[in-house]
Amino acid sequence: MKLTTRLLIADDWTDYALLDSGAGRKLERFGEQTVSRPDPQAFWTPSAPPDAWRADAVFDEKTSEDERGAWRLMRAGAPDVWMMRWNELTFQARRTPFRHLGVFQEHSVHWRFAQDQIRAAGRPVKILNLFGYTGMMSLACASAGAEVVHLDASPKSNGYGKENQALSGLDDRPIRWIADDAMKFVAREIRRGNTYDGIVLDPPKFGRGPKNETWRFEESLPALLDGVRALLSPDPLFVIATAYAVRLSYLALAQTLADRLDGLDGAMETGEMAIPQQGSDRLLPTALYARWWRDQA
């Protein structure tokens, strides 16, 4: 299987923009709000000093191992939850205790890719979205006509995903929202004989399942990918895997996935994901990815 490398740039947004970055921080516009957050990869010098950035809210990093970071409101009355859009999808942005905003905007490159693959298939398609967070990939696939099984260990994240489904006018689309441990769920699906035409996985570096199951990326990923291979249908469309904050090359991720998909015809692509900075040639790296797809030409 031929492996190609590519930089994926999330440049298809109107409701999001990276306004500035550097000195370990980033200034971003999420719909109606502008926020300043830490980013350890932004080593460079920002266009303006972070102290001079105008933000509605600032996330301050923790100052000791026993503390969490916290949001500091800079604009009185800035709502905790507000609406955003990506193409035909409507969803809620929100400030969370872990500095996230309810969406990983760089993943739009994969949402669009999955939609294109589903629409080109011209047949019923079933998708499994593992570690699905608040459901943007699930909504993108459902809006393209797929049946989706969305899995995340957090019932709260799944609840936000259901709200986003309603906001996007997709209540009539078949999405199952499941709170479970990914490894246990995959094992059960294999025993049941269920298969999927597309599988997406966006695992964290470390996480816990709803019954305190432990996920460690480097230890758990190979076994999970074995399960992913076993769950693929006889005529699969794609597999998408991403990785954050791990000591791993994108080549290692891609070659590990390629091992599991040996024997399948198609293309394999890997590289980094990045966000463009408004008014600049600068790109902010966000994650590693590897994806395989079957040529439908």
> Which pLDDT score is estimated for 29?
98
Domain boundaries, the chain: 3-9+104-293, 16-94
User: Residue 98 above 60 pLDDT?
Assistant: yes
Contact 35, 18 (CB under 8 A): no
> Which pLDDT score is estimated for 193?
98
Buried b / exposed e across 100-135, counting CB within 10 Å, b at 16+?
Answer: ebbbbbbbbbbbbbbbebbeebeeebbbbbbbbbbb
- Please write the tens of the pLDDT for every residue from 117-130: 999 999 999 999 99
State the pLDDT confidence band at 162, using cuts at 50, 70 and 90.
very high
Superfamily holding 3-9+104-293:
Vaccinia Virus protein VP39 (3.40.50.150)
User: Residue 9 above 90 pLDDT?
Assistant: yes
Question: pTM for the full model?
Answer: 0.94
Contact 58, 72 (CB under 8 A): yes
> Which pLDDT score is estimated for 66?
53
| Cα distance between residue 15 and residue 29, in whole Å | 8
Contacts of 274 (CB under 8 A, 6+ apart): 7, 8, 9, 10, 106, 283, 284, 285, 286
Q: What is the overall mean pLDDT for the chain? A: 94
Which phi and psi (to 5°) does residue 18 adopt?
-90, 115
> Which pLDDT score is estimated for 82?
98
> Which pLDDT score is estimated for 247?
83
- Please write the tens of the pLDDT for every residue from 231-290: 999 999 999 999 988 888 999 999 999 999 999 999 999 999 999 999 999 999 999 999
User: Residue 103 above 80 pLDDT?
Assistant: yes
Q: Is the alpha carbon torsion for 29, 31, 35, 38 positive or negative?
A: negative
> Which pLDDT score is estimated for 189?
98
- Please write the tens of the pLDDT for every residue from 44-91: 999 999 999 999 999 998 765 556 789 999 999 999 999 999 999 999
| Cα distance between residue 205 and residue 211, in whole Å | 18
Give the pLDDT mean for 205-215. Answer: 76
What residue type is assigned to position 15 of the chain?
Answer: D
CATH of 16-94 given 3.40.50.2000, 2.60.40.1180, 3.40.50.1100, 3.30.420.280 = 2.60.40.1180
- Assigned token pair, 195: 């298969």
Q: Closest by alpha carbon to 164, among 119, 115, 105, 103?
A: 103
Residues facing 33 on adjacent strands? 30
R_g of the chain computed on alpha carbons: 19
| Cα distance between residue 191 and residue 184, in whole Å | 11
